[in-house]
Amino acid sequence: MKQVNLGMIGGGTVGSGVFNALQQNSELLAARTGIRLVVRKVAVKAFDEPRPYPIPAALMTLNWKDVVEDPEIQIVTELVGGTGIAKVIVLAALERGKAVVTANKALLSAHGPELFAAAKKAGTNLYYEASVAGGIPIIKTLREALVGNRFERIYGIVNGTCNYILTRMTREGAAFDAVLADAQRLGYAEADPTLDVDGHDAAHKTGILASLAHGFWVDHHSIHVEGIRPLTPLDIRFAQQLGYTIKLLGSIRIAPPAKGAKAPKGKKAKAAGVRISVAVSPTLVPQSHVLASVNDVFNAVFVTGFPIGDTLYYGRGAGKDATASAVLSDLADAGLDISRGTLDRVPAFTPHAEGTVVPFSETSSRFYLRLNVVDKLGVIAKVSSILSTAGISIASIVQPEGREGETVALILMTHTASRAAMDKARAAIAKLPAVKGPSLLLPVEDFA
């Protein structure tokens, strides 16, 4: 049985979780792969930092270079997070020809092309299963099991913090701020929750999936991102009454040709490349759809491909155990590649297509629009007139009884409309004297 030496950088909650899982399942992993993974060094912040699982003192070092520069270490795992020192560490390891396993979605989102290019130049590989959806093997599924599919649509609930908050708001009718405070107390949300609740963490992960699915790197700056802060118990309640559940949804869809343009065919189509829309937003999901039942800190990714059709991947999206499972999968792949002397068995990311992320204004969907209006005659007529002028058809209107001060909520559901037309109409509606305070506009996804 061939031995492959491993060095770890990061020995806190996630790092010690990976170390423990590897020790517990080392014999099982060896029996299944025919290789034995041996941890040689673990770089940590401090020898006595709090960690859920112990790491032998003889293995620990305070200097990450002791791991990266050790000639006997063949695989380096990066579990420190962030885009600063983590990038330095990963590039240093790749430049020395070492395989790198990372769970760092922010790093990949910001510097993916540079990192993959460095790996290719050094004749090694970068593995990143744990970067998206925790323990759900979605990277390997897209890259291997569904390698013969064209991906028409991918939808992901990929941030456990937001899903926990929205689940509590739905079950209890609680306000966002109260649930967020509970999530922080329970350790489901960071002290500074911005990355999660404003949608950026989900955007990092959605961009990685979009890049892998469509063969060109999706810059995270091109992804439309909205978070869950503006949602109120009223929005949750009326979505339910209309037959929907609100989820923070990452969406990746093949976009139609630009308005007035004909779809290219044959060689022209190949040269033009694929047009996709990529967005993260609170979205109304039908209660009958499987994604509506994904609750608490769980994640799910719904993939529609050709020829496979619809498939769903569900599981824990974060935490030391879910991350450890994904990292062990990558360690097995890296060890097998090293033992067999090949990088072609599991290519990490191979750019193979031209592509464009269309502006969010060019996308279309049904919409939920919540306004706060003065309850007087003629308001609905004026709002309807603005929408009609913009070419937007109203599917239903709900105006609950009761006021908050001088205003009352007005809920409108539209038929399919372009985002550009909807934004223009929303801006015009906001100028009406009877419309008070901010409105809320959410897409409605019917998965048709």
Q: What is the pLDDT of residues 347-387, one digit of tens each?
A: 677 777 889 999 999 999 999 999 999 988 899 999 999 99
Does the pLDDT at position 342 exceed 60? yes
State the DSSP H helix or E strand holding residue 31, giving kind and residue range, or none if neither.
helix 26-33
CB 7 within 8 A of CB 100: no
In a domain, 336, yes or no: no
Name 281's bridge partners: 249
In a domain, 211, yes or no: yes
Residues 173, 74 share a domain: no
Domain boundary (58, 93, 127) is at 127
Residues 112, 6 share a domain: yes
Q: Domains in the chain: how many in total?
A: 3
CA distance linking residue 386 with residue 207, whole number of Å: 35
- Residue 292: name the closest of 174, 447, 139, 413 by CA: 447
CA distance linking residue 408 with residue 402, whole number of Å: 7
In a domain, 368, yes or no: yes
Residues 368, 290 share a domain: no
CA distance linking residue 444 with residue 422, whole number of Å: 13
Which entry of 105, 205, 247, 320 is annotated as an active-site residue?
Answer: 205
Residues 194, 106 share a domain: no
Supply the CATH number for residue 218's domain.
3.30.360.10
Residues 308, 175 share a domain: yes
CA distance linking residue 390 with residue 64, whole number of Å: 58
Domain boundary (92, 127, 162) is at 127
Residues 147, 121 share a domain: no
In a domain, 345, yes or no: no
Residues 164, 310 share a domain: yes
DSSP string, 132-183: SSTTS-HHHIIIIITTT-EEEEEEEE--HHHHHHHHHHHHH---HHHHHHHH
Name 407's bridge partners: 374, 404
Residues 173, 62 share a domain: no
**Confidence category of residue 266, pLDDT binned at 50, 70, 90:** low
Supply the CATH number for residue 52's domain.
3.40.50.720
Range of the domain at 297: 139-316
What is the three-class DSSP state of 77?
A: strand
In a domain, 134, yes or no: no
> Quick one: pLDDT at residue 344?
62
Domain boundary (127, 149, 164) is at 127
Residue ranges in 244-350 assigned as alpha helix (H): 266-272, 320-340
Q: Structure pTM?
A: 0.92
Residues 235, 150 share a domain: yes
Does the pLDDT at position 340 exceed 60? yes
- The neighbour count for residue 71, using CB atoms within 10 Å, is 8
Sign of CA dihedral 89, 95, 99, 103: positive
Residues 311, 289 share a domain: yes
CA distance linking residue 422 with residue 414, whole number of Å: 10
CA distance linking residue 317 with residue 322, whole number of Å: 7
Residues 300, 190 share a domain: yes
Average pLDDT, the chain: 92
**Confidence category of residue 199, pLDDT binned at 50, 70, 90:** very high
In a domain, 352, yes or no: no
Q: Check if 65 is active-site.
A: no
Does the pLDDT at position 196 exceed 90? yes
In a domain, 329, yes or no: no
Residues 266, 146 share a domain: yes
Does the pLDDT at position 272 exceed 60? no
Taking CA atoms, 231 is separated from 61, 152, 160, in Å, by 46, 29, 17
